[in-house]
Amino acid sequence: MTTTLMTYAGPVDDRAPVTRTGGVPLVPAGFTWPQCAECAGPMQFLAQVPADAPGAQGAEAAEHVLSVFMCQNDPGLCDEWDPVAGGNRALVFPRAGLAPAPVPEEGETLLPETCGVDRTAVDAVSYSEARDRWAQASGRPVRDVLGGLGGAPAWLQGDETPVCPSCARAMSFVAQFEEGRDEGTAMNFGGGGCGYAFACVPCAEGAFLWQS
């Protein structure tokens, strides 16, 4: 079985039209920066990944992008792990015509580091075995694995696959995120947790949750 890992590809421009964690989200015209349902503050942009054919070669040419946001204005107090409580958002955008979003002046809106992502296929029976194998084969730290693309989620707790609010079908798994390569710039999934991003591209719906 092949697992597609997202491995750290070095720093990239914070507006680069590529798969990345951090930086400024690329958004369609008329975009409104997501606001937390709990604290009403602006959310933090975490990552943008291909929403369709996420594991495939050449997925930079995917037709849709999934853009993940999560509130970090009051870490732990906004139900930001929950797929429906309103403390995070995962938005599906058509790739064509995206441009850097205007960033709100107040609030915790951007991660401190913008990380480029390489898609790295590894033969392994599971995501966690793929992480270990890649680290061993490359001689790089396992924390340089930023997550996985496509395939099946490696749940830390039980299966929480969300249902699309528009068509009521199980959403497609898009990406799993580790907190990051550096403690000082990492995403906050409760300390050692993982984030899980899903999409229903035909309905233009996305969902995000994390477990630790």
Residues that bind Zn ion (CB under 5 A): 36, 38-39, 71, 73, 78, 164, 166-167, 200, 203
Contacts of 149 (CB under 8 A, 6+ apart): 4, 5, 6, 49, 50, 54, 55, 59, 119, 174, 175
Closest separation between CB of residue 97 and Zn ion, Å? 23
Cβ proximity to Zn ion, 48 vs 73, nearer residue: 73
Measured distance CA(150)–CA(188) in Å, rounded: 22
Closest separation between CB of residue 170 and Zn ion, Å? 9
- Please choose, from the candidates 102, 95, 39, 103, the residue with its C-alpha nearest in 3D space to the C-alpha of residue 71: 39
Closest separation between CB of residue 69 and Zn ion, Å? 11
Cβ proximity to Zn ion, 46 vs 117, nearer residue: 46
Cβ proximity to Zn ion, 24 vs 207, nearer residue: 207
Cβ proximity to Zn ion, 37 vs 135, nearer residue: 37
Alpha helices in the chain (DSSP H): 127-138
Closest separation between CB of residue 100 and Zn ion, Å? 23
Alpha helices in 70-126 (DSSP H): none
